[in-house]
Structure 1
Amino acid sequence: MSRTVLITGASSGIGRASVRVFQEAGFNVVATMRRPDAETEINQLANVLVTRLDVEDKASIEAAIMAGIDRFGGIDVLVNNAGYGLYGIFESIPEEKLRHQFQVNLFGVMDTVRAILPHFRKRGSGTIINVSSGAGHFTLPMISAYCSSKFALEGFTEALSYELLAIGIDVKLIIPHGGVGETAFQQRAADDFANDGTPADYLPFLQKSVETFARLGTALTMTSTDVANVIHEASIDGTQRLRYFVGDMSNGWLKARTELNEEDYITHMREKFL
């Protein structure tokens, strides 16, 4: 029998690419999104159920899981992909936006995991794949909210993996680093850029940081499909591996974080932005 995967945030980017990769590999796919009525393409694919799931709405999470079970007889893999990045100088970001960052990137994942665990425990198996970020291992200015939410997601997922491995459920982290082109992530982050009311003291730093990020943006070569392929591989490789890094390990922030000592690393990062 075909295995079934439930994917959150399937309307664009990595989530959408994952729907296609899993479907082409023979999986049944529960493709979830906040506004399924607007979908006109992936809902035409064989063995794909498009349904509503908003990670901030617990009732919609439970309903999407039940819809997937009813349609395909069970769920084998959960891919927690939904998320976004909040840009801005910390002092200028309103508290409600900070809370929303954590609600989507961390608590929404927790709620989705909590909702599916009874089903996985009943079956005695299951795989949970959380999509993290290099920003859960290194930090960058102007995305302090995003970095902290991903650091928290990394800690939660690692700790959870010990608990669930004991009852036959695998937990994995997919960690894109270096930036993913052609996703809606950067656009949404730009739309949310919280620079309104930024104190003038920050403006020289803000300008230099924006220029640095702009240069990085022109060098993006990794695609959503590249990440989706790793997510699929993690779901079928039969290992208990926790972390899967996706990106060029030969340079960039992650290389600096892992290879430099603490003093040299901090000096390296400050030189990039100060």
Structure 2
Amino acid sequence: MNKTVLITGSSTGIGRATALLFAKNNWNVIATMRNPEAEDELNQLENVLVTRLDLEDIPSIQHSLEAGLEKFGRLDLLVNNAAFGQYGIFEALTPEQIEKQFKVNVFGTMNVIRSILPQFRLQKMGAIINVSSAGGRIGIPLISMYVSSKFALEGFSEALSYELASQNISIKLVEPGGVATPFHNTSAQAFAVNPELTDYNAFSEAALIKLGQMGENVSSATQVADEIFRAAIDGSDQFRYSVGEDAKGWIKDRTSMDDLTFARHIRSLFQL
């Protein structure tokens, strides 16, 4: 019996590449997205079910799970990919923007996991892969809300992994660096700006240039999907999988330097 994976955020980027890769490798795929009516490729594949799931709509999460189980009869793996990035100086962000960042990236992911755990416990097995970010390990200016949501996801995943091990359920993290998808362009368009905060102008201009340089050597969505698939099938107890030379370099710096040295390193990069 073929294994089944449920993937959130399958309409574009990493989620779409992951859905196509698992389907190509004979998995049943529950490809979830906020607007399934716009999909015209994944729904043509025999072993793919396209269904609506919005992380801010809890009933849609349960509906996707039930529809997938009705069609395929089982669920072996959950890939939590759906997320968005709220960019901008922290002081320019509204409370509503801050709340939404966590409501989607953290609480939404938690709600999906909470929904599938009864099925995994019933089966006495299951696996979860949470798509985090190198930014879940490193504080980066101008994207403090995004990285803090990923820091939260990392801590939650690590703590939860010990609880769920008792139920034969595993959790892994995939940590991409920059990825050539619409994600960052969409986030940049929603960059928070407060015209009254002119004190930050010089810093913001210099930091944006540096962030742009950091985005020049990035991975493809397919490369991230390959690592997600490897994490799903390698049978190891490895917890974190970094993707991309940029991510590996940042994480190596963070783990090999003491806090003061690393802080000085970041300050020098951003000319502080």
TM-score, normalisation: structure 1: 0.96
Cα displacement string for residues 103-154 of structure 1 (whole angstroms, at most 9, x for unaligned residues): 1110001000000000000000000110000111011101110111000000
1:253 aligned to 2:253? Answer: no
Q: Of 211, 214, 218, which aligns to 2:216?
A: 218
CA distance in 2, matches of 1:57, 1:197: 33
Partner of 1:200: 198
SS at match of 1:138: coil
CA distance in 2, matches of 1:54, 1:143: 23
Cα displacement string for residues 19-71 of structure 1 (whole angstroms, at most 9, x for unaligned residues): 11100111000000000001111111220000000011100000000000000
1:5 Cα deviation after fit? 0.2
Indicate conservation of the 8 Å contact 2:52/2:64, yes or no: yes
- Choose 210-219 or 149-158, whichever is displaced more: 210-219
Query: Structure 1: which 4+ aligned runs deviate by more than 3 Å?
Result: 249-252
SS at match of 1:244: strand
Partner of 2:166: 166
Partner of 2:225: 228
SS at match of 1:10: coil
Indicate conservation of the 8 Å contact 2:242/2:248, yes or no: no
Indicate conservation of the 8 Å contact 2:134/2:247, yes or no: no
CA distance in 2, matches of 1:187, 1:43: 26
**Change over 3 Å in CA distance of 1:37–1:270 after alignment to 2:** same
Partner of 1:180: 179
What amino acid maps onto 2:191 in structure 1?
F
CA distance in 2, matches of 1:270, 1:69: 50
Partner of 1:148: 148
SS at match of 1:83: coil
1:12 Cα deviation after fit? 0.5
CA distance in 1, matches of 2:57, 2:191: 24
Partner of 1:50: 50
Q: Of 252, 263, 266, which aligns to 1:269?
A: 266
Alignment of 1:82-101 (within 5 A): 82-101=82-101
Alignment of 1:51-70 (within 5 A): 51-70=51-70
**Change over 3 Å in CA distance of 1:208–1:14 after alignment to 2:** same
1:251 Cα deviation after fit? 6.5
Unpaired stretches in structure 1, ≥5 consecutive residues: none
Q: How many equivalent pairs are there?
A: 271
Cα displacement string for residues 150-180 of structure 1 (whole angstroms, at most 9, x for unaligned residues): 0000000000000001111111111112x11
1:239 aligned to 2:251? Answer: no
Q: Percent identity?
A: 49
SS at match of 1:2: coil
Query: Superposition RMSD on alpha carbons, in Å?
Result: 1.3
CA distance in 1, matches of 2:70, 2:143: 40
1:250 Cα deviation after fit? 9.0
Indicate conservation of the 8 Å contact 2:29/2:47, yes or no: yes
What amino acid maps onto 1:180 in structure 2?
V
Indicate conservation of the 8 Å contact 1:92/1:198, yes or no: no
1:31 aligned to 2:31? Answer: yes
Partner of 1:77: 77
